[in-house]
């Protein structure tokens, strides 16, 4: 359900808004959830819809880009654009614009490998770039550094509890009985693509049951507790980006 400036918006009003099929699907998800979503203006609502749609598109594009999966000790990047730090992060070189650095990951994916949390940050940056344009993006994200859940403060990631997920949300599949020999499978950060469809770097675009099955195969011998989807949602604070 959606309210704008304190007014509940009807389905008839939403249906008059011209949108692409991908953005229409995001808007429909917001409108049909039982959670009440509050927006100061129609522009704020449509901007969030755009970023969320671009987040699912960036997830798909990363899935087919050729990037590899690796832990921090074995991360790789295009070192013509990025400096690979000792901890396995990517620091953008001063002569390279943030827009060029992010786009290169999608255009030259074979040169890159990283773990799932880095993938989520890259997706959020790409969705933001495609939503606000190169000029604004380059101004906001100077000195770009990609490493786990460290991110430029202007991205304003926020987390909250919830079980009604929207396309573009990041949600986490926890694997409490993961095998200590493969700690990278202690869980999987994913982007919600659609109802019960998620993108996880290293797993691909899959239903939740398939992600849980993949994680369960990475538990220690004799493990009894199944992997599960947490009721925790992370996404950018869209009003700051707009």
The per-residue pLDDT for range 168-216, each reduced to its tens digit, is 999 999 999 999 998 989 999 999 999 999 999 999 999 999 999 999 9
Q: Does the pLDDT value for residue 151 go beyond 80?
A: no
**pLDDT for the residue numbered 158:** 92
**pLDDT for the residue numbered 113:** 97
Distance CA 98, CA 134 (A): 8
Q: Does the pLDDT value for residue 155 go beyond 90?
A: no
Answer whether 84's CB lies under 8 Å from 146's CB.
no
* C-alpha atoms less than 13 angstroms from C-alpha of 208 in its C-beta half-sphere: 14
Q: What is the pTM (predicted TM-score) of this model?
A: 0.95
CA distances from 95 to 80, 98, 148, 236 (A): 10, 10, 23, 27
Answer whether 239's CB lies under 8 Å from 44's CB.
yes
């Amino acid at each position: 359900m959606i309210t704008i400036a304190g007014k509940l918006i009807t389905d008839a009003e939403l249906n008059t808004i011209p949108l692409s099929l991908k953005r229409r699907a995001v808007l429909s998800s917001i409108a049909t959830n039982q959670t009440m979503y509050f927006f100061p203006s129609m522009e704020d609502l449509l901007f969030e819809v755009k970023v969320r749609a671009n987040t699912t598109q960036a997830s798909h594009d990363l899935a087919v880009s050729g990037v590899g999966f690796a832990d921090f000790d074995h991360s790789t990047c295009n070192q013509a654009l990025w400096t690979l730090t000792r901890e396995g992060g990517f620091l953008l070189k001063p002569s390279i614009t943030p827009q060029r650095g992010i786009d290169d990951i999608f255009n030259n994916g074979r040169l890159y490998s990283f773990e799932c949390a880095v993938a989520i940050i890259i997706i959020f940056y790409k969705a933001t770039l495609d939503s606000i344009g190169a000029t604004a993006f380059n101004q906001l994200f100077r000195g770009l550094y990609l490493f786990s859940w460290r991110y430029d403060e202007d991205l304003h990631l926020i987390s909250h509890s919830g079980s009604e997920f929207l396309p573009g949300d990041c949600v986490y599949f926890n694997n409490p009985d993961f095998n200590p020999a493969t700690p990278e499978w202690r869980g999987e950060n994913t982007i919600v693509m659609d109802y019960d469809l998620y993108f996880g770097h290293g797993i691909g675009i899959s239903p939740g049951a398939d992600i849980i099955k993949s994680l369960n195969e990475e538990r220690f011998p004799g493990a009894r507790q199944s992997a599960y989807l947490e009721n925790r949602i992370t996404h950018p604070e869209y009003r700051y980006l707009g």
